[in-house]
Amino acid sequence: MTTTTKTKLQTIDAQHHIHPFTDSGDLVKKGTRVIERAEGVYLYDSEGNKILDGMAGLWCVNIGYGRQELIDAATEQMQQLPYYNSFFQCTTPPTIELAELLSELAPDHLNHVFFTGSGSESNDTMLRLARHYWACKGKPNKQVIIARKNAYHGSTVAGASLSGMTVMHKQGALPIAGIEHINQPYWFGEGFDEDPNEFGLRVARELEEKILELGEDNVAAFIAEPVQGAGGVVIPPESYWPEIQRICDQYEILLVSDEVICGFGRTGKWFGCDYFGTKPDLMPIAKGISSGYLPIGGVLISDEVAETLKNSGDEFYHGFTYSGHPTAAAVATANIKVLRDEGIVERVDQEIAPYFSEKLQQLASHPIVGEVRTLGLLAAIELMQDKEQHLFFEDKGAVGTRCRDISVTNGLVMRGVGSTMVMSPPLVITKEEIDLLYERVLKTLDDTA
């Protein structure tokens, strides 16, 4: 897109719309891509391009675009009751139905949910809930939340503070007090000389060191994504999660599994914690809960934490106008039923993820590819300047720009994180569509080499 080819819509957009995570100056020069409609795994833009969505929107359109069941659920609910709140001892039938469905799907001990409107709000809620829980337990000093460098937990003040991305902390004087960051289990980038499982153990034990440094009586929770998504699809070595679980149990620290990306089938299991066998106390969710059709999120809460709140004799002074929004809840329920009744998660696990992995692993021998990582329908391709010397691609910004430019990718949306290309296609992608995705990634690599 150049200035001369900008359409009227793009010009108006550049004049009036400040976009998230976008250089506004760049927007004025180059214009936006205006996506007008979508079907299955394909997007259609205002310039007539048909684009394969290798990111499922923003890691969220798990059931693909255009599902009538969700449209019907929204229409019927809007006719019946478009909105009512769940404050002050009120609720609505779709909110109740979704709460029950989530408790059936989640691990056995997670039978409660606090609804929010997004993943960021879920993490804000998690932070207040974790601290409030310990106060209710008579341990008010347990306040610090330990998170990881390079993690992404959202863009609200608490979400961005929990996130470990230093560029985000530079703006708005973050992080807020009481948040600490330890290293991520990024073996290929930060532990390549070590055995992966030894590296996994070493990095997990940074949690123990941090707890000992702060004093266990001051630490409320540890939060991490099962697989770090926006940070570059960082898949931990096998040794990592069991050690984290041991440490949280030993020092009485709440384990928070941020399932905003990994939840609802992305890993081939319903939740990332099912994949890694962890037992989180709190689980922020969003994105795939409604496949992005309407904004909704929540925090799944363990029986122990919920019982403590119920017995505290006090209110939890927290909530959003749209907590438990009935239309969003109806759409989320319809989405989960599609995932469940069509066996989409099992199909990812048994058929599609193995094919996705096998196909993308063929790229590992490409001259500029250092490593291909996949888990479920998450993928990362590490671009190298020099494979022998383990030198990463130099112009890191260029990777992101190329991944977003469909004239480079031949009509595929990917994302660049540093020198890593990442993907997270809709869970309904077929093997033929994976073949097409593969061809387009290969062409992008060839043109980048």
Phi, psi of 65 (to 5 degrees): -90, 150
Q: Which is nearer to ligand PLP, 154 or 268 (CB)?
A: 154
Cα–Cα distance measured from residue 331 to residue 59, given in angstroms and rounded to the nearest whole number:
18
List, in sequence order, the alpha helices (H) in 300-423. Answer: 303-310, 326-341, 344-347, 353-361, 396-404, 406-409
Q: Which of 120, 60, 108 is nearest to 331 (CA)?
A: 60
Least distance CB 48 / ligand PLP (angstroms):
29
List, in sequence order, the alpha helices (H) in 157-264. Answer: 157-162, 166-170, 187-190, 196-214, 240-250
Q: Which is nearer to ligand PLP, 168 or 339 (CB)?
A: 168
Q: Which is nearer to ligand PLP, 10 or 161 (CB)?
A: 161
Q: Which is nearer to ligand PLP, 334 or 422 (CB)?
A: 422
Q: Point out the residue whose Cβ comes nearest to ligand PLP.
A: 119
With binding defined as CB under 6 A, does residue 281 bind ligand PLP?
A: no
Please check whether residue 190 is in contact with residue 149, taking contact to mean a CB–CB distance below 8 angstroms: no
Please check whether residue 270 is in contact with residue 104, taking contact to mean a CB–CB distance below 8 angstroms: no
Query: Residue 297 corresponds to which tokens in the numbers above?
Result: 């999120």
The window from 115-123, 131-139, 172-180, 249-257 that contacts ligand PLP (CB under 6 A) reads 115-123
Query: Residue 346 corresponds to which tokens in the numbers above?
Result: 């099992």
Least distance CB 259 / ligand PLP (angstroms):
8
Query: Using the rule CB under 6 A, which residue among 120, 184, 290, 374 binds ligand PLP?
Result: 120
Touching ligand PLP, residues 155-194 (CB under 6 A): 159
Least distance CB 61 / ligand PLP (angstroms):
13
- The distance from CA 118 to its chain's CA centroid, rounded to whole angstroms, is 11
End-to-end Cα spacing for the chain: 23
Query: Using the rule CB under 6 A, which residue among 136, 204, 253, 286 binds ligand PLP?
Result: 286
Query: Can you spell out the DSSP letters for 240-279?
Result: HHHHHHHHHHHTT-EEEE--TTTTTTTTSSSSHHHHHT--
Query: Using the rule CB under 6 A, which residue among 152, 187, 199, 241 binds ligand PLP?
Result: 152
Site string for ligand PLP, 223-252 (x = CB under 6 A): --x---xx----------------------
Q: Which is nearer to ligand PLP, 94 or 229 (CB)?
A: 229
Least distance CB 269 / ligand PLP (angstroms):
16
Least distance CB 123 / ligand PLP (angstroms):
6
Q: Which is nearer to ligand PLP, 136 or 174 (CB)?
A: 174
Site string for ligand PLP, 73-112 (x = CB under 6 A): ----------------------------------------
With binding defined as CB under 6 A, does residue 260 bind ligand PLP?
A: yes
Please check whether residue 234 is in contact with residue 241, taking contact to mean a CB–CB distance below 8 angstroms: no
Please check whether residue 415 is in contact with residue 402, taking contact to mean a CB–CB distance below 8 angstroms: no
Q: Which is nearer to ligand PLP, 46 or 155 (CB)?
A: 155
With binding defined as CB under 6 A, does residue 261 bind ligand PLP?
A: yes
Least distance CB 403 / ligand PLP (angstroms):
16
Please check whether residue 236 is in contact with residue 373, taking contact to mean a CB–CB distance below 8 angstroms: no
Alpha-carbon dihedral sign for residues 47, 53, 54, 55:
positive
Q: At what angle do helices 240-250 and 196-214 cross, to 10 degrees?
A: 20
Q: How many binding residues for ligand PLP (CB under 6 A)? A: 16
Residues near ligand PLP (CB under 6 A) are 58, 118-120, 123, 152-154, 159, 225, 229-230, 258, 260-261, 286
